[in-house]
Chains A and B, each alone.
Chain A
């Protein structure tokens, strides 16, 4: 069993398997990836980098497509609002 990665999603520490995408980690943590223009929570839709619904703040940079990004140890992820 490979060592789990530790990432911080909206200030909560989560353990995920190596190879997990950030979008998948946010779904596992039941956190929305972004808040829409009208204030509604959104999560990934297309899973392949097209729809941009999965964009979140990763390591302080906003609008990252989390479905196209793998989790790294000690990564910080926040809902894009």
Chain B
């Protein structure tokens, strides 16, 4: 299939980009890995008028539909080249569908994932990511009556705790590793973002009985009878205590999904894709919006997406630049407020699993010089997630940065990768996978 503007990711940034480009006359296709559009922050389709995010989502989705942009869900991008082709895999009940998409301009709106930091017991059933547990509840898992500790860092923790409480969970505490002193300037600066203040107030209403403990973190998850979670050990740096719980929702803010950008050869600024004021990357026909260009939240994603979409359509985006700069500044303040404390680097014991795909314990990584060495000797980072989970953890623990990104960017059946020209005529080819 052919698109003037191909958008990868149907979260807020991708939706805004697709809408702006399509409203200005471009033929737009949006590819998304999830079952439905909305990304993570807008995951789930239920509309709750008390929740401003859902109203915003509904408006954005309606406008996207009217714009004429085509959204294709359930597509994982496993191959891309900047000259104009992207390949996707769609897993269906009857087999795998490989599709090729051709583009003139590409918008990377690939969002972010949670950062996980290994600690003893983090592989036990009952331990989830914070956003992870929220996503699973939106997918139909019920936490009603369950006692849950929400821990880690970042503004997501309160949102997650609120959502879990609304589902009937008992949130025994919210543990934020950042200190109050670190958080205070950020909280005070929210006066410039009224929408975020309203959200914050709503969280407090739902969680008025739940202690929010700044400067505390989980050091161990402990199993009860059988191999499931029974309690967590918590510390504030001077004393430690045990909190019994059924589930732990623990995530350390976000890391950008930049694999496609890195593979294409886009220039980076530290961990993020380098963009200009039009959200254009170092490659002239590739744009990037939202978290991969800098973790700055929903409003930043929306304005950056709109800028990218307008730029793709050759329209002016000058009127959006002030808003964009303000949201970037918000992101910078957020990064300072939720900076990770050094103690989190010493949580793993020698036998704590770091790479969950290959069960590589922390002790086996020590003595290696970096990723290449460790991969060859231990298989760390070589499982199906391709280092997406252990990579950011190891960057914190050992300071190693990822060395290379190769295709397939996502695990695909061998047939899909070996016969890339299956869709010669821009049509789709069904490849039946042998069980």
B-binding residues in A (CB < 8 A): 16-17, 19-21, 23-25, 27-28, 32, 36-38, 40-53, 55, 58-65, 67-70, 72, 75
How far is it, in angstroms, between the C-alpha of A68 and the C-alpha of B125 when the chains are bound? 19
Is B134 on the interface with A (CB-CB < 8 A)?
A: yes
A52-B385, A53-B356 known; A70-B435 Cβ under 8 A:
no
Interface size class of B (residues with CB under 8 A): 35 or more
**Pair A64/B125 contact, Cβ less than 8 Å:** no
How far is it, in angstroms, between the C-alpha of A15 and the C-alpha of B129 when the chains are bound? 26
A-binding residues in B (CB < 8 A): 33-35, 40, 43, 74, 76, 91, 93, 113-114, 116, 123, 125-129, 131-137, 139-142, 227, 257, 356-359, 383-385, 388-389, 411, 433, 435
How far is it, in angstroms, between the C-alpha of A49 and the C-alpha of B78 when the chains are bound? 14
List 19 A–B pairs whose Cβ atoms lie within 8 Å, in order of A's numbering: A17-B140, A19-B139, A21-B136, A21-B140, A24-B139, A28-B140, A44-B132, A47-B135, A49-B34, A49-B76, A50-B113, A51-B132, A52-B357, A59-B93, A60-B435, A62-B435, A65-B91, A67-B135, A70-B35
Residue of A nearest to B388 (CB): A50
Residue of B nearest to A49 (CB): B33
**Pair B359/A47 contact, Cβ less than 8 Å:** no
How far is it, in angstroms, between the C-alpha of A63 and the C-alpha of B383 when the chains are bound? 12
**Pair A27/B34 contact, Cβ less than 8 Å:** no
**Pair B388/A45 contact, Cβ less than 8 Å:** no
**Pair B125/A45 contact, Cβ less than 8 Å:** no
Residues of A within 8 A of B33 (CB): 49, 68
**Pair B141/A24 contact, Cβ less than 8 Å:** yes
CB distance from A60 to the nearest CB of B (A): 4
Residues of B within 8 A of A44 (CB): 128, 132, 136
**Pair A47/B129 contact, Cβ less than 8 Å:** yes
How far is it, in angstroms, between the C-alpha of A26 and the C-alpha of B116 when the chains are bound? 22
